[in-house]
Amino acid sequence: MTVTTDQLREDVARELDRARRRTRALTDAVDDSELVRQHSPLMSPLVWDLAHVGNQEELWLVREVGGREAVRRDLDELYDAFRHARRERPGLPLLSPDEARRYSTGVRDQALDVLSRARFEGDPLLADGFAFGMVIQHEQQHAETMLATHQLRSGVPALAAGPPPAALVPVAGEVLVPGGPFSMGAEVEPWALDNERPSRVVDVPGFFIDAAPVTNAQYAAFIADGGYGDERWWSPEGWAHRQAADLSAPMHWRGAEGGWSCVQFGREAPLAGDQPVVHVCFYEAEAYATWAGRRLPTEAEWEKAARWDPLTGRSRRYPWGDEAPTARHANLGQRHLSPAPVGAYPAGASPLGAHQLIGDVWEWTSSPFVAYPGFAPFPYREYSEVFFGSRQKVLRGGSFGTDAVACRASFRNWDHPIRRQIFSGFRCARDARPDEVR
Ligand code: AVJ
Ligand code: FE
């Protein structure tokens, strides 16, 4: 990056502050008794996330970068995600909400002092402010996790936001992505995480991908056609899970055929047919695609559709170019508490005409989460490496709950194929026949 040290410091301080305001908004929205409660065995109590983001910031910015004394070494064990599964976290002797707030604020004061003295040279951990960027993305990732916890909570609604923008253009059908090589993975992305690297050239045969994510109305047609009862559309594992978990509609849908509503952050409303479907697991996405005579895109296909510029052959940072996301480009950053209707972001479309690849819903791909060739863990194995080969699936593109700082067209998310408490949707793809590629 060609920014001055002062500029970088200013950018980092602003992003740290934005992340903390988001954390505080999500945790101040409910009273303390709710912060310590577990709303689902899939999720931590919010008070755990609150102190965990502070603990990671202490480990990386205060101790590692700053070379300073521990603030609270005794907390490392409690807030280590690998020591305690989420379901066990409410039983731990966690900091109280006030203690957690004070702890994270104390760490932040020290991190800002470390920032004011940081040199950003020599040390790869500090180049372009990477360690700060990593901690900022970490806090924003937990902000999305905390938003998913809010979605699982019952009781009086605690969060509010304006409705998403209306559709501006009609978007339907599929777009052809011509076959050929493209550069996959992060090249010049200063805050790209280890699993996005190294970039390499991948040859992707021609394929078609949907111009938009699958909508609620489209998904309801699959249900109406008996999709959940027809084993033909499901993979063997998918069918076994569909039976065991008794799936019959996306999570948070209520009612029945013809009269669906959905519950979002404690408010029930009629299902918006033109919004991307959200809260489906990988197996549901896969079954829909098979029913539709299609398939899920691979991770490489998704990234080529999102980044490849047919005019220059270059890979962009985002579908619309290299410019950071704004409110015109994508539904990101918890500005709205739902996906936006298909067609709401024409300014965010790719050169080939694929819309809403970034924002709205995370999109399941058919690819397992594995290392790119030449991968090196950086700076810690537990971010990505320990999850490679764990049969988790890659999701791409970010959701309405994802912050822009933790979202780009090379960004890789992953989860178990049964998970649907996350803001997950999908779009379909298919091979191009030889006569279709010319
Ligand atoms: C990349 C979203 C799968 O939440 O498990 C947070 C991000 N890693 N703290 C997760 C993460 C460590 C991670 N995901
Ligand atoms: Fe974490």
CATH number for the domain formed by residue range(s) 174-215+282-436: 3.90.1580.10
Encoded tokens for 382: 């537990």
CA of 202 to the centre of ligand 2 (A): 31
CA of 263 to the centre of ligand 2 (A): 27
- Mind listing the pLDDT tens digit for each residue in 222-253? 999 999 999 999 999 999 999 999 999 999 99
pTM: 0.98
Please name which of 212, 128, 187 lies closest in space to residue 314, comparing C-alpha atoms.
187
C-alpha Rg value of the chain to the nearest Å: 22
- Mind listing the pLDDT tens digit for each residue in 86-103? 999 999 999 999 999 999
Report whether 87 belongs to an annotated binding site: yes
All residues at 6 or more sequence positions from 108 whose CB lies less than 8 Å from its CB, including other chains: 16, 20, 54, 57
Give the model's pLDDT for residue 258: 74
Does residue 365 have its Cβ closer than 6 Å to ligand 1? no
Report whether 252 belongs to an annotated binding site: no
| pLDDT of 10 strictly over 60 | yes
Give the model's pLDDT for residue 93: 96
Does residue 145 have its Cβ closer than 6 Å to ligand 1? yes
Average pLDDT over the chain reads 97
Specify the residue with its C-alpha closest to ligand 1, atom 9. Answer: 138
- Crossing angle between the packed helical segments 5-28 and 46-57, to the nearest 10 degrees: 160
* Atom of ligand 1 at shortest range from CA of 387: 3
Domain ranges of the chain: 5-152, 174-215+282-436
Mutation choice for ligand 1 from 52, 59, 135, 145, CB with most ligand atoms inside 8 A:
145
- Mind listing the pLDDT tens digit for each residue in 128-163? 999 999 999 999 999 999 999 999 999 899 999 999
CA of 84 to the centre of ligand 2 (A): 12
| pLDDT of 432 strictly over 80 | yes
Report whether 138 belongs to an annotated binding site: yes
Ligand nearest to the CA of 52: 2
The mean pLDDT value for 67-76 works out to: 97
Report whether 142 belongs to an annotated binding site: yes
Give the model's pLDDT for residue 424: 99
- Mind listing the pLDDT tens digit for each residue in 174-233? 999 999 999 999 998 999 999 999 999 999 999 999 999 999 999 999 999 999 999 999
Q: Which fold has domain 5-152?
A: Four Helix Bundle (Hemerythrin (Met), subunit A) (1.20.120)
pLDDT band at 277 (very low <50, low <70, confident <90, very high): very high
All residues at 6 or more sequence positions from 97 whose CB lies less than 8 Å from its CB, including other chains: 27, 32, 35, 36, 47, 50
Mutation choice for ligand 1 from 137, 141, 195, 362, CB with most ligand atoms inside 8 A:
141
The mean pLDDT value for 402-407 works out to: 98
Name residue 414's beta-bridge partners: 394
Give the model's pLDDT for residue 122: 85
Sheet with strand 174-177: strands edge to edge:
174-177, 207-210, 429-431
All residues at 6 or more sequence positions from 419 whose CB lies less than 8 Å from its CB, including other chains: 42, 281, 282
Does residue 141 have its Cβ closer than 6 Å to ligand 1? yes
CA of 327 to the centre of ligand 1 (A): 25
Does residue 138 have its Cβ closer than 6 Å to ligand 1? yes
pLDDT band at 2 (very low <50, low <70, confident <90, very high): low
Give the model's pLDDT for residue 92: 94
Give the model's pLDDT for residue 256: 78
Report whether 52 belongs to an annotated binding site: yes
Does residue 195 have its Cβ closer than 6 Å to ligand 1? no
pLDDT band at 257 (very low <50, low <70, confident <90, very high): confident
| pLDDT of 169 strictly over 90 | yes
* Interface confidence: ipTM more than 0.95: yes
